[in-house]
């Protein structure tokens, strides 16, 4: 054991812990899991093979694994009010591929939101398998940055997709799930809502739920839901068998049981009063951060946010590309990602904006007054990029983050 701890990998883990501790994490898809989630993920459950589903496994010795997976499913049903849940997808991308596999043949048509409008690669983008093996069409957002449902309807009627994707990686407004369902029904498509980003907000009623409206709901478990990296597919009972078969044996092998246990722990946490307060605070923080940046002259896509994230047009705000802005902020320990903005004329690897999200910093206990401080750091760093000023801000950020704990890091 002692020898193992000399493994350089553990040195890198410590360095990464320090990086997480001394930085302000604004990547909208990231979070810090609890010590109990970490404990479940780091457990001996990883030793076990369990191909199949509870009580129907291809391997022996699964009596306890079965109980864990059943409990995880039951908690997911309770939290989201879902009829059928599959907790085995390895992550969000395979979950979305499993949905394609369940309902489409290669070459069939799928329709999703454009990447530059805030959609995800797996909703039919051309470089993804979802856009290579299936015939994909996409919808965008209007000039103001909102989904235009008449436009979505028109594209759906013109192209008659078999599957319609709603949901996003970078859209700061409320989605009208019912309107999407109406459109899907009008063209005879199955509607999928991908709530990867807002799952924690949906679980606590801080964002409208598509469950009971959308035929299929996919989600990652590691963003606002604050669980381990994984995913779930929730659906109406009638689609349950098709989904289960698509996940296994269609796409995957043995489930990651340690992750299933971690998801179960996170789902229990998601039912607590503390988690509800946490979710409310995520949205409050996002609004204050966006509003403070607007006061400082920043251009925010759609003018604000209704959820945990928003996009800043850095070209319009500070005459910098998203890559330049994220590099400068990275140098002062503020981490975020460059992001295309709607109707972006620049390419995705050097787009016109950045995406900012508050789930991780809210887990650390940051509140409205801290958002004002963070907006100040961003404003100062992007408006005066002299090495002397950036060094000063980096030291201030390190000092600022000191009092905000991260589970599993402060006792590493
Ligand atoms: C909306 C949405 N769906 C799916 C995914 C894919 O999840 P993963 O990275 O776990 O494959 C993401 C991740 O960013 C996402 O934002």
Task: Indicate the pTM of the whole model.
Answer: 0.97
Å from CA of 281 to ligand 1 middle: 23
Task: For residue 220, indicate whether it is catalytic.
Answer: yes
Domain with CATH 3.40.640.10 in the chain: 38-269
Give the Cα separation of 342 and 314 in Å (integer): 13
Over residues 45-68, the mean pLDDT reads 98
Q: Which residues contact 327 (CB under 8 A, 6 or more apart)?
A: none
Task: For residue 229, indicate whether it is catalytic.
Answer: yes
Ligand 1: atom nearest CA of 230 is 10
Residue range 82-136, pLDDT digits in tens: 999 999 999 999 999 999 999 999 999 999 999 999 999 999 999 999 999 999 9
Question: CATH number of the domain at 38-269, please?
Answer: 3.40.640.10
| Contact (CB, 8 A) for 405 and 364 | yes
Residue 5 pLDDT: 72
pLDDT bucket at 2, cuts 50 / 70 / 90: low
Residue range 232-256, pLDDT digits in tens: 999 999 999 999 999 999 999 999 9
Ligand 1: atom nearest CA of 167 is 1
Q: Which CATH class is domain 273-401?
A: alpha beta
List residues near ligand 1 (CB under 6 A). Answer: 29, 91-93, 96, 120, 122, 167-169, 194, 196-197, 220
Residue 408 pLDDT: 86
Give the Cα separation of 256 and 391 in Å (integer): 43
Nearest to 53 by CA among 241, 262, 264: 241
Å from CA of 99 to ligand 1 middle: 14
Say whether 150 sits in a helix, a strand or coil. Answer: helix
Give the Cα separation of 8 and 13 in Å (integer): 9
Domain with CATH 3.90.1150.10 in the chain: 273-401
Give the Cα separation of 383 and 148 in Å (integer): 35
Burial of 200: CB neighbours in 10 Å, binned 0-12, 13-18, 19+ = buried
Task: For residue 321, indicate whether it is catalytic.
Answer: no
Give the Cα separation of 156 and 153 in Å (integer): 5
Residue 152 pLDDT: 98
Ligand 1: atom nearest CA of 91 is 10
Kindly list the distances between the CA atom of residue 297 and the CA atoms of 27, 131, 257, in Å, as whole numbers in the listed order.
22, 38, 48
User: Which run of H or of E encompasses 137?
Assistant: strand 135-139
Residue 412 pLDDT: 52
Say whether 139 sits in a helix, a strand or coil. Answer: strand
Å from CA of 350 to ligand 1 middle: 20
Rg (CA), the chain: 21
User: Which run of H or of E encompasses 185?
Assistant: helix 177-187
Catalytic residue selected from 25, 30, 194, 269: 194
Catalytic residue selected from 21, 75, 162, 223: 223
Give the Cα separation of 228 and 265 in Å (integer): 9
Q: Can you say whether the dihedral through the CA atoms of 241, 199, 140, 93 is positive or negative?
A: negative
Å from CA of 101 to ligand 1 middle: 17
Ligand 1, atom 6: closest residue by C-alpha:
92
* Two tokens, residue 57: 């496994």
């Amino acid at each position: 054991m002692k020898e193992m701890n000399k493994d350089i990998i553990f040195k890198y883990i410590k360095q990464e812990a320090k990086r997480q501790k001394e930085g302000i994490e604004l990547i909208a898809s990231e979070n810090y899991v609890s010590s109990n989630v970490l404990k479940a993920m780091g457990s001996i459950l990883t030793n076990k093979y369990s191909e199949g589903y509870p009580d129907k496994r291809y391997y022996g010795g699964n009596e306890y694994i079965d109980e864990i997976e059943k409990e995880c499913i039951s908690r997911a049903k309770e939290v989201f009010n879902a009829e059928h849940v599959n907790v085995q997808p390895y992550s969000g991308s395979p979950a979305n591929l499993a949905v394609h596999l369940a309902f489409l043949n290669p070459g069939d048509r799928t329709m999703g939101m454009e990447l530059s409008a805030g959609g995800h690669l797996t909703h039919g983008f051309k470089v993804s398998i979802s856009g290579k093996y299936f015939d994909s069409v996409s919808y965008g957002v209007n000039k103001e940055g909102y989904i235009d449902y008449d436009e979505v309807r028109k594209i759906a009627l013109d192209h008659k997709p078999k599957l319609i994707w709603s949901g996003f990686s970078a859209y700061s407004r409320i989605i009208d799930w019912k309107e999407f369902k109406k459109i899907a029904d009008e063209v005879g498509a199955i509607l999928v809502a991908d709530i990867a980003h807002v799952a924690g907000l949906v679980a606590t009623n801080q964002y409208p739920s598509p469950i009971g409206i959308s035929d299929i709901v996919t989600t990652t478990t590691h963003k606002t839901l604050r669980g381990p990296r994984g995913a779930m597919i929730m659906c109406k009972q009638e689609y349950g068998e098709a989904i289960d078969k698509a996940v296994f044996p269609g796409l995957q092998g043995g489930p990651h049981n340690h992750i299933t246990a971690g998801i179960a722990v996170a789902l229990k946490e998601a039912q607590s009063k503390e988690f509800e307060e946490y979710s409310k605070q995520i949205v409050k923080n996002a609004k204050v951060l966006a509003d403070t940046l607007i006061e400082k002259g920043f251009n925010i896509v759609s003018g604000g946010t209704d959820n945990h994230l928003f996009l800043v047009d850095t070209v319009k705000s500070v005459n910098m590309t998203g890559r330049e802005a994220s590099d400068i902020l990275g140098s002062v320990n503020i981490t975020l990602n460059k992001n295309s903005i709607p109707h972006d004329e620049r390419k995705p690897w050097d787009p016109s904006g950045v995406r900012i999200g508050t789930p991780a910093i809210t887990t650390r206990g940051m509140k409205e007054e801290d958002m004002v401080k963070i907006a100040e750091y961003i404003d100062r760093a992007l408006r005066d990029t002299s090495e002397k000023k950036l060094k000063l801000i980096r030291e201030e950020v390190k000092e600022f983050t000191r009092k905000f704990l991260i589970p599993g890091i402060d006792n590493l």
